[in-house]
């Protein structure tokens, strides 16, 4: 079975994600479902299914990438809080969901969860602007 984070031709990947670009130790993706505006996924470069399988250098680099992305998210979307989630049940590859949370919106005061929530999609131009904004702030070519 192929991994959607390792295989850039994976059908599910194209359905769910828009690739922004490569960071030093990971790849940044925007989720097409933007029910939490600005939500992204940072996926480790190289296939690992558990954090403990990562080398110390991979862990340090991955979490540095996560910190850089969350700082960019804060600058772009001004959330009241950012949630971080590593699950891997459905896609066994180390990746982190970075989810901006807003006090006056969906699920404030609870962990984020998509099940049963309305999917929010943006226009192609809105996704493209988000890609460009993240690239600019993170110096992604």
User: pLDDT digits over 91-112, tens only?
Assistant: 999 999 999 988 877 666 566 6
Low-confidence ranges of the chain (pLDDT < 50): none
pLDDT of residue 7: 92
* Alpha-carbon torsion angle 128, 130, 135, 136, nearest 10: 110
First to last CA, the chain: 31
pLDDT of residue 106: 60
pLDDT of residue 107: 61
Q: What pTM did the predictor assign?
A: 0.92
Cβ(68)–Cβ(23) under 8 Å? yes
Phi-psi region of 129 (alpha: psi -120 to 50; beta: other; left: phi over 0): alpha
d(CA 41, CA 26): 10
pLDDT of residue 34: 95
- Taking every pair of C-alpha atoms in the chain, what is the biggest distance, in angstroms? 41
pLDDT of residue 6: 94
User: Which domains are delineated in the chain?
Assistant: 11-108+117-138 (3.30.428.10)
């Amino acid at each position: 079975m192929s991994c959607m984070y390792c295989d850039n031709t994976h059908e599910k990947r194209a359905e769910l994600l828009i690739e922004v670009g490569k960071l030093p130790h990971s790849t940044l993706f925007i989720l097409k479902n933007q029910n939490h505006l600005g939500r992204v996924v940072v996926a480790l470069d190289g296939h690992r299914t558990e954090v403990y399988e990562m080398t110390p250098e991979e862990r340090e680099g991955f979490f540095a990438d996560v910190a850089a992305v969350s700082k960019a998210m804060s600058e772009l979307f001004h959330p009241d809080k950012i949630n971080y989630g590593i699950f891997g049940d459905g896609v066994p590859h180390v990746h982190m969901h970075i989810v901006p949370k807003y006090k006056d919106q969906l699920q404030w005061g609870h962990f984020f969860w998509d099940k049963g929530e309305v999917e929010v999609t943006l226009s192609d131009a809105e996704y493209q602007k988000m890609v460009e904004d993240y690239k600019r702030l993170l110096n992604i070519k």
